[in-house]
Chains A and B, each alone.
Chain A
């Protein structure tokens, strides 16, 4: 229609993205502030990062959080991939709509309800609350996100390669690991990363389901934020933001490369005909 973007479109994009990014950029800038007053610039300094390394409570909370995130993301990826296979491949079975309902409902369910209901389950099961209960809780809601991500990958999947393998006598499990998994791998990896960051992020569900001795980083940050804004918290947040940004960008570059590689392979294969 029109050639090139109009001024209106450019303005709305620029304003929109400044709104999205300005707060985070300011947060990062003020983590390098010399002054303890977070909003008054007192010169450049990295001393708050140094302070962090001395803060044992924060470091141990970070360690707990990473362990929970790693375990729950891995378990959620296995369960979520299975759920996605069921949604896309298993056809009709009894209770299918309940199953898909249980996959999609946690995506929009308020955290307070998820947290409270899981806590009451753990109490009813007479479980000691702590590390493992948080891990199980995170696995439960993260697997639904993984299922949705992997599902979208499975939908645009050429089934004929799988059928070819099965016709040649390859057992289903072997077909899955040799054919299906490599093709949906970018979706599985993206699902794992999403599950990992969701777990890293979560304050509400963890607060409900945790017990003594298993304080996660968001819980620690939250209790300090309630006392006021401090440059140390800015520094923690900056580190988290950087890690996540690097991870996401690296993953998207890797998946793009793989896609280009695959297109080249396909072209080569068809060229050889």
Chain B
């Protein structure tokens, strides 16, 4: 476009508007809310509408704002460190998300590998089949597992009928069910970047290894796996980051002793109606996730530069 090739940033009104509209939208609806969350996390809970003090009043101006500032306190954050529920929730979210990311990788790698090594004519169909579940409702896919995993569910019926077990297994409402739910829901997120990476792999390297007498498993270990690491890392981030804050899966498949921070936040907000504490929980969760999010973006940028 002429605007860009002319060098100097001499933008037309249309060009400015093009940037301004989505920019302002995101500033108002994405960035500004975080500051409000932070502000309310410093407030005190109150029996009022909205249920916190001091409230946010733009009309009152800056003087009022600075006046209110002295009433802000870090009590909610101190409360988060005092009640074991919160740090245990954070810790167990990270552990559950980390474990299920590794399990998803174990399940997803063979699928991505198989797809990348399948005949070229199959690939678009296989790719379509991986993407399709991603389009179907998350809630529905989690719900589908309840009927399978519960005590009188289909899995137990099949296992009892086969004679593998003589007592129904208790899976639903345990952490195992949460792992299964996360693996199932997030599998496409891992398979897609990994497949994109494995498909680009130069097969002549493997041929060379084979010609030199390297066994297939060793060639995989020494060549395929190291070269696929960018895809593995991208996929793992895409599973891990949203899984940490997951609510639906631990709520529907997990038990009362499954602690995950998304669920804790939800209960704090909807059941206890403590908006300041749930805001503080959100702020800490955000800080916890900033590190992997930034790492992920850097990695993506590096990969994009390499491709260019």
Interface, chain A (partner B; CB < 8 A):
1, 4-6, 8-13, 15-17, 19-21, 23-24, 26-27, 30, 38-39, 79-80, 82-83, 85-86, 89-93, 95, 99, 101-106, 108-113, 116-118, 120-121, 123-124, 136-137, 139-140, 143, 147, 159, 162-163, 166, 172-173, 194, 197, 200-201, 203-204, 207-208, 218, 221-222, 225-226, 229, 233-234, 237, 240-241, 244-245, 248-249, 252
Beyond A19-B184, A112-B262, A241-B140, is A102–B242 a contact (Cβ under 8 Å)? Answer: no
Q: Contacts A24-B133, A112-B245, A112-B265 given; indicate if A38 touches B113 (C-beta within 8 A).
A: no
A71 to B289, CA, bound (A): 31
- Chain B, range 1-58, C-beta contacts under 8 Å to A: 1-4, 9, 11-12, 14-15, 18-19, 21-23, 25-34, 36-37, 40, 50, 56
A38: B residues at CB distance < 8 A: 147
Question: Is B154 an interface residue when CB atoms closer than 8 A count as contact?
Answer: yes
Closest 4 pairs (CB-CB, A-B): A110-B245, A117-B33, A12-B110, A16-B111
B contacts, CB < 8 Å to A: 1-4, 9, 11-12, 14-15, 18-19, 21-23, 25-34, 36-37, 40, 50, 56, 107-108, 110-111, 113-115, 117-119, 126, 128-133, 135-141, 143-148, 150, 152-154, 157, 184, 187-188, 191, 203, 206-207, 210, 237-238, 241-242, 244-248, 252, 262, 265-266, 269-270, 275, 278-279, 282, 285-286, 289, 293, 296-297, 300
Known: A108-B296, A172-B12, A241-B136. A1 touches B282 (CB 8 A): no
Query: CB-CB < 8 A to B107: which residues of A?
Result: 16, 19
Q: How far is the CA of A136 from the CA of B28 in the complex (A)?
A: 11
CB neighbours of A85 from chain B (8 A): 18
Chain B residues with Cβ below 8 Å from A147 are: 22
- Docked Cα-Cα span, A247 to B237, in Å, equals 29
B136: chain A residues at CB < 8 Å are: 24, 240-241, 244-245
- Name which residue of chain A comes closest to B108, CB basis: A16
Query: Which of B3, B25, B152 lies in contact with A39, CB distance below 8 A?
Result: B152
Q: How far is the CA of A102 from the CA of B110 in the complex (A)?
A: 34
Chain A positions within 8 Å of B143 at CB level: 27, 221, 225, 229, 233, 237
Contacts of B270 in A (CB 8 A): 207
Contact status of A237 and B25, CB under 8 A, knowing A1-B206, A116-B265? no
In angstroms, Cα B115 to Cα A185, docked, is 29
A52 to chain B, nearest CB (A): 15
Q: A1-B207, A13-B114, A110-B245 are in contact. Are A23 and B37 (CB under 8 A)?
A: no
Do A143 and B22 touch (CB < 8 A)? yes
A12-B111, A136-B29, A240-B140 given; A225·B252 CB < 8 A: yes
Pairwise interchain contact B157-A162, C-beta atoms closer than 8 A: no
Residue among A27, A117, A248 with max Cβ neighbours from chain B (10 Å): A117
Q: Are A27 and B110 in contact (CB under 8 A)?
A: no
A selection of 25 A-B contacts at a CB cut-off of 8 Å is A1-B203, A1-B206, A8-B110, A12-B110, A20-B129, A20-B187, A23-B184, A79-B25, A101-B297, A102-B31, A104-B300, A105-B293, A108-B241, A110-B262, A113-B245, A116-B269, A120-B40, A143-B22, A173-B14, A201-B138, A204-B247, A207-B270, A218-B137, A234-B147, A237-B144
Residue among A21, A23, A121 making CB contact with B29, cutoff 8 Å: A121
Give bound CA distance, A248 to B248, whole Å. 25
Q: With a CB–CB cut-off of 8 A, which chain B residues contact A221? A: 139-140, 143
Nearest Cβ on chain A to B39's Cβ, whole angstroms: 9
Across-interface contacts of A207 in B (CB, < 8 A)? 270
Q: Are the CB atoms of A162 and B1 closer together than 8 Å? A: yes
Residue from the list A10, A99, A218 in contact with B26, Cβ < 8 A: A99
| Known A-B contacts A13-B115, A106-B30, A124-B56; A229 and B147 likewise in contact (beta carbons under 8 Å) | yes
A5 vs B129: C-alpha distance when bound (angstroms): 18
Distance (whole angstroms) from the CB of B104 to the closest CB of chain A: 11
CB closest chain-B residue, reference A104: B297
Q: Are B144 and A26 in contact (CB under 8 A)?
A: yes
